[in-house]
Amino acid sequence: MTTIDVPRATSRPKALNAIESALEQFDRAADHLHLSDESRAILRVPKREWTVNFPVTMDDGRVEVLTGYRVQHNMARGPAKGGIRFHPATDIEEVRALAMWMTWKCALVNVPFGGAKGGVTVDPRALSPRELQAVTRRFATELQGIIGPEIDIPAPDVGTNAQTMAWIMDTLSMHAGYTVPGVVTGKPVGLGGSEGRADATGMGVMFTAERALAEAGIDINGATVAVQGFGNVGEAAARLIHERGGRLVAITDIGGGVANPDGLNPAQLKAFLKETGSIAGAPGTQPIDNETLLALDVDLLVLAALEGQITSANAHQVRARVIAEGANGPVTPPADPILADLGVVTVPDILCNSGGVIVSYFEWVQNLQSFAWSADEVADRLQRVIFTAYDEVAALRESKGIDARLAAHAIAVSRVAEAQQIRGRYP
């Protein structure tokens, strides 16, 4: 094994790319569907958006004023749904793009939700546990009246997790004077969270990647796999693919990356991450950077970090057979045709990472019914829902001779436009 001495991965592309990508994908679907000018005008912009500025007292006594956002893109098919992101580069344009993608994702997998997203411009890794809780509770307070089980239901995203959701649920419940479990999903199981939610996005990535590999004539058992990102999505996807017999040859996170052609052990990496804050430098591994990882000759490349990772600048270097978009928007529209020319099969984000919102929907349903399903029941139902969406995308892709991303967006946009149209115009 050769040592690859490379700089650590810390940078990210400008958020502007995300909204440009989202709009380009929408326009392409709208053109394909011959969508009316009226529907285009409605669906191209968010229904509502808020920017909130709020003070938080830090551990050293300083007061910092932070900025947060919530964007509800569309609610024609039901309450809005979408994660909350804590990241230093989060801004309104990024949140707008992510909210729009949530609308399409919910419609594609046919759950009765619209799309939303939220974020706070903050680096959660630089906060103490007390500061993190204070930021979360104050942001939740700013969202009072904007979120709720019948309005808009947040969930975890980059930089947030089940604990964050528990604090939001508690804050909103304190204000209501009674417990409101359905205000967020992705809660800890002991607090009304669903069995299987923590792994749901990664499980959906594994299910859809397995299908795409099979279509390419590759068995996941024995397939070589590289994963970018080792958080909520990347860790679960890596672990579940490993359990299916996939050989993890490289993984990166924000602190760097690890490689081993004989295979990495995700459980050991998780333990090392917990101890040190990054997988970089884990025993028995060689360092690797993002650029190298994205160009590895592997059967499956899982993108589970951030948007805009494969662009027209690096797409021609990709040698993976299948790309699974665990992240939202990791491949920009100009990169898509380059990948297609190389014969790379892409499982588009709104399908690939929809496991999270599917099980979030199950959690919301369980909360409304005050009834809990078993982990097996959740996994079975998840598989059924995501395979139905996969089959619908594959059928449209084949019948129209279009790529999977356009097929997925066409199905989703047509469902939302139809709901919007049937509801009619008020007043």
Site string for ligand NAD, 331-370 (x = CB under 6 A): ----------------------x--x--------------
User: By C-alpha distance, which of 309, 350, 303 is closest to 11?
Assistant: 309
Q: What gap in Å lies between CA 409 and CA 108, rounded to an integer? A: 8
CB-wise, 212 or 254, nearer to ligand NAD?
A: 254
Q: How far is the CB of 156 from ligand NAD (least distance, A)?
A: 5
Stretch that binds ligand NAD, among 18-26, 134-142, 302-310, 373-381 (CB under 6 A): 302-310
Q: Which segments of 277-384 are extended strands (E)?
A: 286-287, 300-303, 322-325, 345-347
CB-wise, 218 or 364, nearer to ligand NAD?
A: 364
Q: Is 254 in the site for ligand NAD (CB under 6 A)?
A: yes
Residue 50, SS3 per DSSP = strand
CB-wise, 9 or 147, nearer to ligand NAD?
A: 9
Q: Which helix (H) or strand (E) is 71 found in, with range?
A: strand 63-74
Q: What gap in Å lies between CA 186 and CA 82, rounded to an integer? A: 11
CB-wise, 110 or 421, nearer to ligand NAD?
A: 110
Q: How far is the CB of 231 from ligand NAD (least distance, A)?
A: 2
Kindly tell me which residue out of 79, 154, 196, 231 binds ligand NAD, with binding defined by CB under 6 A. Answer: 231
117 labelled catalytic: yes
Q: Is the peptide bond before 427 cis (omega within 30 degrees of 0)?
A: yes
Q: What gap in Å lies between CA 92 and CA 309, rounded to an integer? A: 20
Site string for ligand NAD, 29-68 (x = CB under 6 A): ----------------------------------------
What DSSP string runs through 251-264? EEETTEEEE-TT--
Active-site residue, from 81, 105, 117, 187: 117
Neighbours of 144 (CB within 10 A): 12
The closest residue (CB) to ligand NAD is 231
**Binding residues for ligand NAD, total number by CB under 6 A:** 26
**413 with 29: CB under 8 angstroms?**
yes
Kindly tell me which residue out of 131, 157, 199, 210 binds ligand NAD, with binding defined by CB under 6 A. Answer: 157
Q: What gap in Å lies between CA 282 and CA 402, rounded to an integer? A: 42
179-218 residues near ligand NAD, rule: CB under 6 A: 201
Q: How far is the CB of 201 from ligand NAD (least distance, A)?
A: 4
Q: Is 159 in the site for ligand NAD (CB under 6 A)?
A: yes
Q: Is the peptide bond before 334 cis (omega within 30 degrees of 0)?
A: no
User: By C-alpha distance, which of 222, 217, 289 is closest to 257?
Assistant: 289
Residue 175, SS3 per DSSP = helix
261-300 residues near ligand NAD, rule: CB under 6 A: 290
Neighbours of 367 (CB within 10 A): 23
Q: Which residues bind ligand NAD (CB under 6 A)?
A: 9, 12, 156-159, 201, 228-234, 252-254, 290, 304-306, 326-328, 353, 356
The catalytic site residues sit at 117
